[in-house]
Amino acid sequence: AATEPDANAAPALRIRGLRKTFGPFVALDDIDLDVARGEFICFLGPSGCGKTTLLRAIAGLDPQDRGIIEQNGEDISTRPVTRRDFGIVFQSYALFPNLTVRRNVGYGLHHSGLSRRGRRDRIAELLEMVGLADQGRKYPAQLSGGQQQRVALARALAPSPGLLLLDEPLSALDARVRLHLRRELRDLQQKLGVTTIMVTHDQDEALATADRIVVMRRGRIEQTGRPEDVFSNPATPFVASFFGAMNFISANVSADGTITAGEGSFTVPQHEFPAGAEVSLCIRPSDIVTGPPAQAAQNRLRGKIVSALFRGTFHHVVLDCPVLGQTLEAEISSDHWGRHELTPGTEAMIALPQDKLHLFARGAET
Ligand code: ATP
C-alpha cells in the first residue's frame, strides 16, 4: 500500500510569526496558529483587534509583511489570491446583482473542469444544501438578507475549497435569522467537514459555533482554546471579562498559600502564585452562591443586598461585602432564597466556590 503523503499529516493551516503593518500601525504581530482539518475556528475580539486583517492575510487579499502561512504543509505565504484554495463569504453578501441565484453559485465553477451538465448538477446540489432549491431563477434583490447570505455560502462552497473563510457572515442579519443561520452553518460545516475560519465580534456566536476560539486583542492572540476553556479557564483578565461579567477582588497571597482579601481568607486550589504576590481574585456573578444567612458553605462571607433586579430566570444582585471592602455582583436563582425577599438591606451569606475562582496577577490589564 502507498504511504500517506506528508500533506495529510500537516495541519490544514499553519501560521508562524505573522506580522502585518499599515504604515506605522502594527495590525498583527507574532501570530502563531495551527488549524486542524475539519476544524471550525472563530477569530473573536473587539473592534480593531485585527481579526479581519488576519483572515485577509490567510486569503492573500492583504499579504503579511513577515511570517509564514502553510496550507496542508505547503508554503502559500507569497502565493497570489487566485492560486489559493479557499472560499470566502463577506458580511455584505457581495453577490452579483445582475446574475440569477444559479449563476451566482455557478460563478466559481467556470474553471472547475466540470461539464455544463456537471455544473448544473453541482449548483442544484448546493442550492438544495442551503435550502434554496426553488429559488435558483431569482435575482439577489428578490431575496431576503438571510437567503442572500445562503447564496453567498453556496457560491463559496461550490468549488469544494479546502478552506472556508467567513468574515462576520451573520452580522448584517436580524437577530432571529442570525440565530437560525448560525445553527445551519454549523450543521453544514460538520456535514461537509470543511475546515472553517469565521471572524466574529459576538461572544455567543463564537461559543455556540466554534470547535476552538482564537481570542484576539490589539493585533495579538490572547488565548486559543475550546469554548469551555476560554469561558471557564480564561488565561488573562481580558479574556475573563470578554466572555461576560466578572467580579475582580483585590487580594494577596499569604504565607500558607491562602488568598486574603480585606479581612477575608479564601482557598483557591492549585494556584502557582508565591506568598506575598498581589493578585486579583475573580469570580463570575453566575458562579457566586448566596442564600439566607443560615446556609453555610466554604469560602463564605457575609454581605447585604444593595439592589436586586429581576431578570427572568434569575435576579441580578449587588451585594455589599464589608469584609472585602467592596461590592460583588451575583446572579441569584430564586430557589436558593425560598420565601425570603431580595430587598435592599437583607443580609446574605455569600459563598465563592473554590473551583469557580480565578487568580490573575494584579495590574494585568483588562
Ligand atoms: P472590526 O470588527 O472593526 O472589523 P477587526 O478586528 O476585524 O475589527 P481589522 O479590520 O483587522 O479589525 O483592523 C485592525 C486594525 O488595522 C484597525 O485598527 C484598522 O483601523 C487597521 N486597518 C485595517 N485595514 C487598514 C488599512 N487598509 N489601512 C490602515 N489601517 C488599517
Judgement on whether residues 252 and 120 belong to the same structural domain of the protein: no
Same domain, 309 and 216: no
**Among the three residues 223, 240, 257, which one is the final residue of a domain in this structure?**
240
What pLDDT is stored for residue 89 in this prediction?
94
44 and 157 housed in the same domain: yes
Looking at the structure, do residues 179 and 87 belong to the same domain, yes or no? yes
- Give the model's pLDDT for residue 114: 85
Closest to 261 measured CA to CA, from 295, 234, 301, 297: 301
Structural domain of 112: 6-240
The CATH number given to whatever domain includes residue 258 is: 2.40.50.100
Closest ligand 1 atom, residue 219 Cα: 14
Q: Is 201 in the pocket of ligand 1 (CB under 6 A)?
A: yes
**Burial class of residue 342, CB neighbours in 10 A (0-12, 13-18, 19+):** middle
pLDDT of residue 327: 95
Full DSSP string of 56-100: HHHHTSS--SEEEEEETTEE-TT--GGGS--EEE-TT----TTS-
Domain-embedded: residue 235: yes
Q: Confirm or reject: Cβ of 200 under 6 Å from ligand 1.
A: no
Answer whether residue 306 is part of any domain.
Answer: yes
Ligand 1 in contact with 27 (CB < 6 A)? yes
CATH of the domain at 86: 3.40.50.300
Measured in Å, residue 53 CA sits from the centre of ligand 1 at 6
Within the chain, strands assigned E span 13-22, 25-35, 40-44, 66-71, 74-75, 87-89, 163-167, 195-200, 212-217, 220-225, 247-253, 259-261, 264-266, 278-283, 289-291, 300-310, 315-321, 326-332, 347-351, 358-361
Do 24 and 133 belong together in one domain? yes
Q: Is 48 in the pocket of ligand 1 (CB under 6 A)?
A: yes
First to last CA, the chain: 55
Cβ neighbours for 67, distance < 8 A, ≥ 6 positions apart: 15, 16, 17, 18, 19, 31, 77
How confident is the model at residue 1, as a pLDDT? 45
Instruction: Please identify, by atom number, the ligand 1 atom nearest to the C-alpha of residue 168.
Output: 2
Backbone angles phi, psi at 345, to 5 degrees: 95, -20
ipTM, 2 decimals?
0.92
For residues 227 and 291, membership in a common domain is answered with no
CB 28 within 8 A of CB 62: no
| Residue 21 Cβ < 6 Å to ligand 1 | no
Q: Is 162 in the pocket of ligand 1 (CB under 6 A)?
A: no
HSE of 59 in the Cβ direction (CA atoms, 13 Å)?
Answer: 23
Specify the number of domains making up the chain. Answer: 2
In angstroms, what is the span from residue 98 Cα to ligand 1's centroid?
30
189 lines ligand 1 (CB under 6 A): no
> Atom 7 of ligand 1 has which residue's CA nearest to it?
52
The answer to whether 195 and 12 have CB atoms below 8 angstroms apart is: yes
Q: What distance in angstroms lies between residue 25's CA and the mean position of ligand 1's atoms?
A: 10
279 and 195 in a common domain: no
Count of residues for the chain?
Answer: 366
Residue 311, pLDDT score: 87
Cell of 344: 435592599
Of 233, 283, 243, 240, the residue nearest 261 (C-alpha) = 283
Domain assignment present for residue 1? The answer is: no
Residue 185 lies in a domain: yes
* Lookup: cell for 67: 511570517
Residue 366 belongs to some domain of the structure:
no
45 Cβ closer than 6 Å to some ligand 1 atom? yes
Distance 52 CA to ligand 1 centre (A): 7
In a domain, 72, yes or no: yes
235 and 277 in a single domain? The answer is no
Same-domain check for residues 158 and 39: yes
- Final residue of a structural domain among 240, 265, 293: 240
pLDDT, averaged in runs of 10, over the chain (366 residues)? 59 97 96 97 96 97 95 95 93 90 90 86 94 93 93 94 95 89 93 96 94 97 96 93 92 94 91 94 92 68 92 90 94 72 87 92 74
